[in-house]
């Protein structure tokens, strides 16, 4: 990646502002503590979701316009986590697009699979712009089976949507608001750092 950490941090600040998002420490948020406790109980009954500790220490979470990084992430250096931040910001875009529809879709397996695929596409587009590479773990359906409680058919749907995304991203086609904003910011602020070719 050609973009320095200070410029990545500046990009992160820009994206958070652009999409009207805020970052809040997961460990300090009572709502995250409640969700973590519910996850712990649900896991006892065999739900394919993270344990209480995993949820708090390994998983990024977004509720509406609030992004919650896991414990230990320096919120003042979000640029170090630009790929996952772009994934989470795509969820913020989805929320702002239609809050009620987003919640309704996320509560269904098919809707969650589609929303997660779009969010990962946003991260993939940003990563392509910044590195000229497609993330190696992009099609890892085990992540959606465990972290998002998707059955095999819906995890496969996520993978299939991402395989289609890879083809168009490699051709320089951007379709997410996050990918387009990353490309425009890089062109305006550090054009020499753009690694992947895109059509704007």
Residue with tokens 């425009």: 184
User: 134 is written with which tokens?
Assistant: 């497609």
Q: Please, where are the H alpha helices in the chain? A: 5-18, 30-44, 52-57, 82-97, 99-106, 109-131, 141-147, 152-170, 177-189
Report the pLDDT value the prediction gives residue 85, as an integer from 0 to 100: 97
Mean per-residue pLDDT, 88-115: 93
What mean pLDDT is reported for the chain?
88
Report the pLDDT value the prediction gives residue 162, as an integer from 0 to 100: 79
Mean per-residue pLDDT, 96-109: 92
3-class DSSP state of 61:
strand
Write down the domain spans for the chain: 5-18+79-193
Contact present, 116 and 148 (Cβ < 8 Å): yes
Report the pLDDT value the prediction gives residue 141, as an integer from 0 to 100: 46
Q: Residue 138's pLDDT band (boundaries 50, 70, 90)?
A: low
Mean per-residue pLDDT, 80-95: 96
Report the pLDDT value the prediction gives residue 146, as an integer from 0 to 100: 46
Q: Is the pLDDT of residue 111 over 70?
A: yes
Report the pLDDT value the prediction gives residue 9, as an integer from 0 to 100: 97
Distance, CA of 17 to CA of 22 (rounded, Å): 8
Q: Is the pLDDT of residue 106 over 60?
A: yes
Summarised one tens digit per residue, pLDDT across range 24-61 is 999 889 999 999 999 889 888 887 778 899 889 998 99
Q: Is the pLDDT of residue 139 over 70?
A: no
Contact present, 66 and 24 (Cβ < 8 Å): yes
Mean per-residue pLDDT, 121-146: 76
- Which of 92, 154, 162 has its CA nearest to residue 127? 162
């Amino acid at each position: 990646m050609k973009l320095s950490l200070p410029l990545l941090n500046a990009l992160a600040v820009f994206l958070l502002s652009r999409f009207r998002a805020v970052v809040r420490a997961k460990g300090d948020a009572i709502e995250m503590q409640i969700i973590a406790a519910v996850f712990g109980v649900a896991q006892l009954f065999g739900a394919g979701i993270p344990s209480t500790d995993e949820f708090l220490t390994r998983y990024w979470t977004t509720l509406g316009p609030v992004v919650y990084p896991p414990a230990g992430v320096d919120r003042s250096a979000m640029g170090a986590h630009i790929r996952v931040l772009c994934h989470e910001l795509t969820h913020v875009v989805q929320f702002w697009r239609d809050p009620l529809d987003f919640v309704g879709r996320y509560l269904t397996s098919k809707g969650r699979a589609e929303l997660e695929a779009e969010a990962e596409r946003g991260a993939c587009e940003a990563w392509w712009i910044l590195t000229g590479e497609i993330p190696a773990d992009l099609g890892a359906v085990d992540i959606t089976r465990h972290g998002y409680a998707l059955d095999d058919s819906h995890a496969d749907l996520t993978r299939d949507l991402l395989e289609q995304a890879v083809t168009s991203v490699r051709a320089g086609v951007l379709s997410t608001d996050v990918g387009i904003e990353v490309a425009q910011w890089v062109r305006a602020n550090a054009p020499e750092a753009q690694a992947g070719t895109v059509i704007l």
